[in-house]
Structure formats: C-alpha cells, structure tokens
Amino acid sequence: MIKILVGGILSLVVAMGIARFSYTPILPLMQSDLSFSNKVAGYLATSNYAGYLVGAVLVGILPLKQRRKAFLRLSLILSVVTTAGMGLFQMYSAWYVFRFVSGFSSAFVLVLASSIVLDKLAEKGKTNWSGLFYGGVGVGIFLTGIIIPILNHYFKWEGAWVGLSILSIVFTFLVWVWLKDETSNSTQNKKKEIPAHGPPTTWIPWLVIAYGLEGLGYIVTGTFIISIAGQIPNFNGDATFIWMIVGLAAIPSCIIWSSLAKKMGFVKCLVVALLLQAFGIVVPVLLMTKTGLIVSAILFGATFMGITTLATTLASRINPKNSSRIIGYLTAIYAAGQMIGPLLAGHLASASHNYNSALIGAAIVVLIGALFLLSGIRFDNKPVKVVITENIQNEEN
C-alpha cells in the first residue's frame, strides 16, 4: 500500500510539480536570456492550460477504466519528453506545442493516478491518506525550487529543463514499478444508505462558477510570482526561494483543509480559503518587499491545492451517485479559467509594465468566487440520506 501511495505521489511530482508548474520558476530565467515579453509568457502559460482543458475533457469521456495504468504510463512519458523539449529547442512554435502537450498529459496523470490511488485507499479503508497523495503537487513544487537554481548556475535555463526531465525519468521508473492498478477479485456490490452532507444538488452550479473563477484568479500568481519576486533587489537573483515556500506550504495543505472542513463545514472552509487566497494575491501590490512576497507565497501555497481538495470532495458529498461527472465539470471550468487568466494577465502586465493591475484583477475574481459560495453556508453539514452502490471487500481467512 505504501508503494502505491508513493508511486501516486511521484506521478504528481512528475506531471504537476515538474512538467506543469516548473515553468513558473524557469520563466524569468528564460525572459532574462531571451528578452521575450510578458505577453509571450502569458501565451505560453495559456497554451499549457489549454492542453490541460482538452485533457480534462477527454479523460472524463473516454472509457479508460480498464486501461488506466497504460494511459498513465503514456502520459508520464509525454510529461518527460515535453519537459526536455523546452530546453532542447529555442523556438516559440515548438514551446507552444510542448506546453500544450504537457498540460494535456498532466490532466490525464492527475485524473488517472487519483482514480487508481483513491480506489486502492478506499479498498483498504485508508481514505484519510488522500491528503498525503495530493501533497505530491507541493512536493514537486518544493523540489523544483531547490533544483532549478543549481541547474541554472551550471547549465543555464536550458539545462534546468533537461535536468528536470532526467529526474522525471527516475521518478517515472519508480511509478512504473510501484503504482499497480490491481483490484481484488473478492468484492461484492452492496446497496448502502449513507448520510451525505452539504447543499442540495441544485446548488452545484454556484460551486462550479466559483471554482471556475478560482481557476482564473489563482493562476495569475501561479504563473508570475517568481517574475514578480525577481523585481525585488534583496532577493539577490534567487527569486526561486519563493517557489520553495509555495511548495512547503502546499504539502500539508490538503490534509489541513480536509480536517478543518470536517469540523467547520466544507462550504465555510472554501469561503475562508478563497478569502485568504485573494488577500495573498494582492499582498505584493500592498507590500512590494521580500516579506510581502513570502506572505503571498505562503497564502498561495496553503490554499490552491486545498481549494481543489475541498471543492472536489464537496461535489462528491453532494451527489455521491454521480460524483465523477460533477468533478469532471469542475475540472473543465477550472481548466478554462486557467487558460484565460495568464493571457489576460500577460496583456495587462505588458501594457502597464508591472503586475499590479493583473494581481488586483485576479484577487477580485477570487473574491467574487467566494461571494458565490456564501449561499451554501446554511447547508453545511446538513445530512441528506443517499443510496449508493459501493464495493465491500470480502475478507479471506
């Protein structure tokens, strides 16, 4: 069980922490060397999130249940190849393709690894370990924050991409060996009446809209925070320190928010997390110092994966009989928001020659998302009986 969990964590490190999010700390290094604009940087980020959107939609509609392991492995290979390609080619057209395919593969890895690991955790009665699994994204972000400055020192930004791809090969091999998709043959279906807690299904559109706004707003910080940090002199050229802070804050965030939600209610926690994130996004505008960026990084890291965990868990609690479809809707609109956010932010930053307007706009968008959720607070932890079919493990002596 431990090997399966670690394999799942490493799959998120490869596809999310490295292939998807390492663009953030490497971006200022690329811009410094090649002098391309924030507008181009926004287009590259948007290409990645467009790929994520397409991947999220396809993985939700394709019949992959019996071939999850094969598609997971293929997606990890694509993550490795596209990461290496960013350092081996210096053409915008190639970069757009690599970032698109990287986003596409990361969506497949996230969904497929999640389904394999969570199914196994449920089978073993260890669903409380799911927060450890999703902490893999934070682990990947933290690792890139440590490794990229070292690789850049010796091999420049091109070597950073290639070096990360080599590390990804090692992790992919471990995933290949450890992450098995094997379910027990001794299972039986049983109807069971369980209490579902939360708003009624008619409230789900409010959650979907709020989650889409979160995707649009959070990704502005997720894309440009290192570039913003690089404008502060006392970082001494080591702005990737901020990315390490993001990763450290993200690692325990899923477990912490899930624990809080069980006590406070999922909707309340979502509102609080969105408010904290909105404040964190706008902090660099109010306090453009090293301290301000550290506060922003902590609040960003502590909320972005926590919000994802809370939103998807809440959706499954509202309608456990059809949770996969609702989570698919959430993932798709989140991806659409991520695609639009960097594009708009890149244009605003290029026009104003700073990130203030982009950050203020992103904070407002996230704040509006929190307002959309307020109507659901009164339903928090309200029990509703729902009949579902679950697999009951037969014990063999």
Q: What is the DSSP code string of 339-362?
A: HHHHHHHHHHHHHHSSSHHHHHHH
Distance CA 62, CA 290 (A): 46
- At 59 the pLDDT is 80
- The answer to whether residues 274 and 213 touch, using CB atoms and an 8 Å cutoff, is no
**Res 162 pLDDT > 90:** yes
Distance CA 25, CA 144 (A): 8
Those residues with Cβ within 8 angstroms of residue 26's Cβ, 6 or more apart along the chain or in another chain: 86, 148, 152, 157, 160, 161
Distance CA 138, CA 50 (A): 22
Q: How large is the average pLDDT for residues 307-311?
A: 88
Q: What mean pLDDT value characterizes the chain?
A: 84
**Res 394 pLDDT > 50:** no
Closest CA to 349 of 23, 22, 40: 40
User: Structure tokens of 208?
Assistant: 């979907």
**Res 393 pLDDT > 50:** no
β-partners of residue 196 are: 384
User: Structure tokens of 291?
Assistant: 């301290």
Buried b or exposed e, range 164-177, using 16+ CB within 10 angstroms = bbebbeebbebbbe
**Structural domains in the chain plus CATH codes:** 1-183 (1.20.1250.20), 185-397 (1.20.1250.20)
Residue 236 sits at φ, ψ, to 5 deg, of 55, 40
- The answer to whether residues 168 and 79 touch, using CB atoms and an 8 Å cutoff, is yes
In degrees, to the nearest 5, what angle opens at C-alpha 121 toward C-alphas 117 and 127? 115
Q: What is the pLDDT of residues 52-98, one digit of tens each?
A: 889 888 887 787 777 888 999 999 999 999 999 999 998 999 999 99
pLDDT: is 194 or 337 the higher one? Answer: 337
Distance CA 283, CA 263 (A): 29
Strand, coil or helix: 267: helix
Q: What is the pLDDT of residues 357-388, one digit of tens each?
A: 999 999 999 999 999 999 888 877 665 444 44
pTM: 0.81
Can you spell out the DSSP letters for 233-254? GGGTT-THHHHHHHHHHHTTHH
E runs forming strands in the chain: 187-197, 383-393
